[in-house]
Amino acid sequence: MTVARRDLVVVGASAGGVESLRQMLGSFPPDLPAAVLVVLHLPTNARSALPAILDRVCALPVRPAVDGDPLQPGTVLVASPDRHLMVSDGHVLLSRGPRENGHRPAVDVLFRSAARAAGRRVIAVVLSGALDDGTAGMIAVRARGGIGVAQDPDEALYPGMPQHAVEIAGADHVVPVEKMGPLLAELLAEDVGQVDEPPPSELMDTETAMAHLDREALDADDRPGRPSGFGCPTCHGALFSITEGGMERYRCRVGHAWSPEALAVEQSQALESALWMALRGLEERATLSLRMGERAEQRGHLISAQAFRQRHDEALHAAGLLRRLLEQGELNGEGLPGDAQGA
């Protein structure tokens, strides 16, 4: 049996993740024998100070990832805004591929590409964050024999991501973030066999290629999964349902991907936008009807004036109903339990 050691650690975080990353990287020994890749969900147009923040607390050098960087043990590469961070053939790739769960960079893209490229040599770590980002990626890592590690949800500022990584992806280890450095050092020192390593699935190959904007994958007639009956919140195309490792998720023809929690929140936000548009239309209808009624009355057209005033009253009544729905917050995500309100 061919024996190797784990040498790649991929880390994903979202809301509340900066402090978790600081604590985790601060616990790293200076001789950690692995390349570490970090994705924190970031606004698209923001400059990231994360590498500098982490470099101040980490014994390893920390810097932004550059397309083509080799995977070097003892280094930490951090994803840049608006670029997926991916792994391929011993180096990293940066891609403007389709967003996953509304994010670019996305945790699942990093985890999935690492699983495809390095198999059992990968350790995937999920830290604080809302919703269920990272779950599909950890499923992919574990499917190829890699290890899944989750921050203890009870200590995470936002427990959604680590909790889903435990309950759905089956994380192998659940520990407080300050204990991750010693745990990773222990896992990286273990020998792992590669002879019977599960090969990448066709789904893993296809989704990794789509994230890298591979034209053949994007132009293929067949889409992964089966029609779901739902529409993509980003491009409004049809979503296809994919079931993997006990998790159902969704991807559209051009590659936008959604986990169940992320899709539900995005649908809620779209519904709220639609309600505000409807409210605006009703208020404009009420104002126009009032003006037309006043003009009809000035001209002595009393029947028309009465009809316009009735239209005005009906529009105001409907607008009042919409305002009450918006105030309750049940249709825009505020009524969702726990941390399902957004990342």
- What distance in Å separates the CA atoms of residue 291 and residue 231, rounded to the nearest whole number? 40
Inter-CA distances, 112 with 25, 238, 326, Å:
22, 23, 38
Residue tagged active-site, from 27, 41, 113, 128: 41
Is 41 among the residues known to form the active site?
yes
- DSSP assignment of 18-68 equals HHHHHHHHHT--TT--SEEEEEE---TTPPP-HHHHHHTT-SS-EEE--TT
- What distance in Å separates the CA atoms of residue 121 and residue 147, rounded to the nearest whole number? 8
Which residues contact residue 39 at a Cβ distance below 8 angstroms, ignoring those fewer than 6 apart?
10, 11, 12, 13, 79, 85, 105, 106, 107, 109, 110
Residue tagged active-site, from 133, 228, 259, 268: 133
Q: Is 332 left (phi over 0), alpha (psi -120 to 50) or beta?
A: alpha
Instruction: Look up residue 183 and give its amino acid.
Output: L
**Of all helices (H) and strands (E), which one includes residue 233?**
none
Going through 50-153 in order, the beta strands assigned E by DSSP cover 62-64, 76-78, 84-88, 91-95, 122-126, 147-151
Pull the structure tokens for residue 169: 């992806």
Is 219 among the residues known to form the active site?
no
- What distance in Å separates the CA atoms of residue 233 and residue 271, rounded to the nearest whole number? 10
Which residues contact residue 300 at a Cβ distance below 8 angstroms, ignoring those fewer than 6 apart?
none
Q: State the catalytic residues.
A: 14, 41, 133
